[in-house]
Structure 1
Amino acid sequence: MADRLSPKSADRFWTAEEFARRLALARAADPEPAEKPSVWQLLAEISVLREPLIRPFRTLDIARAETPQTVMLLPGFATHPTRMRFMARQLERAGHTVKRWGLGFNLGPTPDNIEFLEQRLTDVQQRYGRDVVLVGWSLGGLFARELAKRHPGKVAKVITMGSPFSGNPRANNAWRAYQFIAGHPVDEPPIPGDVKLKPPVPTIAFWSKRDGIVSPAASRGIAGERDRAVCVDCNHIGFSNSAASILAILKELEDI
């Protein structure tokens, strides 16, 4: 299934009043300031600019999977599935079937795009005849957790990568941008649910000490919010393309 525009994406053309409302959301006071990655860690994320230059010279030793899985990749906030294309190709080299989420840019949750993803998950699970592993980067991991709660019988495992599911939802350097683009407070999403609640399937949380966007504590979680936490040596953007992240995912895919 090819990517398509997110449901109601035509409504992204804002009036002056809507722009002002979103700008007010971005400027909102922080009611309970939380620890965030430092400015230096945030600036280190700029290393993403060199990634396309060094990628042709990078080789990964990838073994064929003993138990091939069906995987759906869910992109991070304000990113497109193409940002996870390199990861998808490496998982496919191992013999896994990798599918996009089908929604294009991730601009935040809405009732419509959650409904679309529920049907997308059902279609992929039925087409390939096996439960789907959901791999979500940053905000994509919150989508993955929600899908697994709604359809645990169709999900083999959830892997989140730098996803802020634990603690204060403002324990990151992106919440103001999120509120402007998504159009709602970060702690008041337009869909019901508790992001801290663990899905009733194996749930693995990747986190990094080098994350410059999301607080490690927020993406690591605590006992009861996930089954295991795995420390990965990369920055936040590196979750989508680094060798450390890709190899860690391949290991989790074998452990099903």
Structure 2
Amino acid sequence: MTPAGAPGGTTGRSRPPGGGDGAAGSDEVAPPPLSLFALESARARVEWLSLVVSQRLLDPPRGSGEPVLVLPGLLAGDEATEPLRRILGGLGHVAHGWGLGVNVGPTAHILDGLVARVLALSEAARAERHDGRVQLVGISLGGILARELARQVPDHVGRVVTIGSPFRIVDHRQSRLAGVFQSLSHLHVSRERFDIFRQDALPQHVPTTAVYSRSDGVVSWRACVEDPGTEAHESVEVHSSHTGMPYNPATVYVVADRLAGDPAHWQPFRAPTRLRHLYPAP
């Protein structure tokens, strides 16, 4: 989970994490190496600069006015998602902040507020002759909450894109910020209402894309990927830090590409030839 927030191959297509890296074992509940955690801030700055330099060269697909709700990561608010929302707005989407202040986790205020926010955006979209489905983009902890929204109001959600979101977390040790999250647990709803360790499968008709990085310095990448082979639910790997992932050029292209597609006619992500170098080979 981020204090503010990936499979392509040689073909740039989405792929499940496979091989020895995905085997069961102690590595699955280990946090990222401390060396990666220490480099988070420096790597994030490089990724931000890379986006500034390369943004015009990405040339991602454009949207057609669909509402997009962007959810921030742990201890972040709308100011942290503003750069990504600005980019999406420039590509023809109507990108919204969540308007719920700082993300302190699954409080009643946040869970109830998100449902109300999606329903309001959905109603407004229908009034403008869109289908009324809201696209959700969640950064780290925000992605876990976005998936919960898709479970609660599936008929109002078009698709979900998560960025470095540990929605498959099974142990606090998989996050370097577990202590921060636990320190806020007295604010959270009961585990009967929302249990971060027990995330049910999403409705099949809500496509999902999980962007992750094996060099994530905050959360274990194994907690950030979809079940392999699940139709309309994919994982796309990028080379990125955790904190800089929302501003990484490869991530930005994936998000824009996924949001521009029709959820009713889902196809797996495939990077264009000119950008395949941005996505790790199998």
Using the size of structure 1 for normalisation, the TM-score is: 0.78
- Which residue of structure 1 lines up, in the alignment, with residue 39 of structure 2? 44
- Which residue of structure 1 lines up, in the alignment, with residue 183 of structure 2? 180
Q: Which amino acid counterpart does residue 163 of structure 1 have in structure 2?
A: S
- Which residue of structure 2 lines up, in the alignment, with residue 249 of structure 1? 255
Shift of 1:234: 1.4
- Write the distance in 1 (CA, Å) between the matches of 2:153 and 2:74: 23
- The one-character-per-residue Cα deviations of 1:172-225 (angstroms, maximum 9, x if unpaired) are 111111101343799x74733574322211121111012101101000132359
Q: SS at 1:73's partner residue?
A: strand
- Write the distance in 1 (CA, Å) between the matches of 2:258 and 2:51: 26
Distance 1:55 1:81, change over 3 A: farther
Distance 1:225 1:49, change over 3 A: same
Query: 2:79 matched to 1:60?
Result: no
- Write the distance in 2 (CA, Å) between the matches of 1:226 and 1:166: 17
- Which residue of structure 2 lines up, in the alignment, with residue 74 of structure 1? 71
Q: Which amino acid counterpart does residue 215 of structure 2 have in structure 1?
A: R
Query: 2:118 matched to 1:121?
Result: yes
Q: 1:129-144 residue pairs with structure 2 within 5 A?
A: 129=126, 130-144=132-146
Q: SS at 1:72's partner residue?
A: strand
- Which residue of structure 2 lines up, in the alignment, with residue 155 of structure 1? 157
- Write the distance in 2 (CA, Å) between the matches of 1:74 and 1:195: 20
Shift of 1:250: 0.6
Which structure 1 segments of 5+ residues have no match? 1-32
Q: Which amino acid counterpart does residue 219 of structure 1 have in structure 2?
A: C
Distance 1:246 1:167, change over 3 A: same
- The one-character-per-residue Cα deviations of 1:87-110 (angstroms, maximum 9, x if unpaired) are 111111111110011101100111
Query: 2:235 matched to 1:235?
Result: no
- Write the distance in 2 (CA, Å) between the matches of 1:150 and 1:37: 31
- Which residue of structure 2 lines up, in the alignment, with residue 192 of structure 1? 194
Q: Residue 206 of structure 1: which of 190, 202, 211 is its match? A: 211
Q: SS at 2:39's partner residue?
A: helix
- Residues 192-201 or 134-143, more deviating: 192-201
- Write the distance in 2 (CA, Å) between the matches of 1:56 and 1:253: 19
How many pairs are equivalent? 223
- Which residue of structure 2 lines up, in the alignment, with residue 5 of structure 1? none
Does the 8 A contact of 2:138 with 2:161 survive in 1?
yes
Using the size of structure 2 for normalisation, the TM-score is: 0.71
- Write the distance in 2 (CA, Å) between the matches of 1:49 and 1:209: 15
- Write the distance in 1 (CA, Å) between the matches of 2:200 and 2:67: 24
Distance 1:154 1:176, change over 3 A: same
Q: Which amino acid counterpart does residue 162 of structure 1 have in structure 2?
A: G
- Write the distance in 2 (CA, Å) between the matches of 1:221 and 1:202: 11
Which structure 2 segments of 5+ residues have no match? 1-27, 127-131, 263-282
- Residues 136-145 or 201-210, more deviating: 201-210
Identity percentage of aligned residues: 28
Distance 1:39 1:151, change over 3 A: same
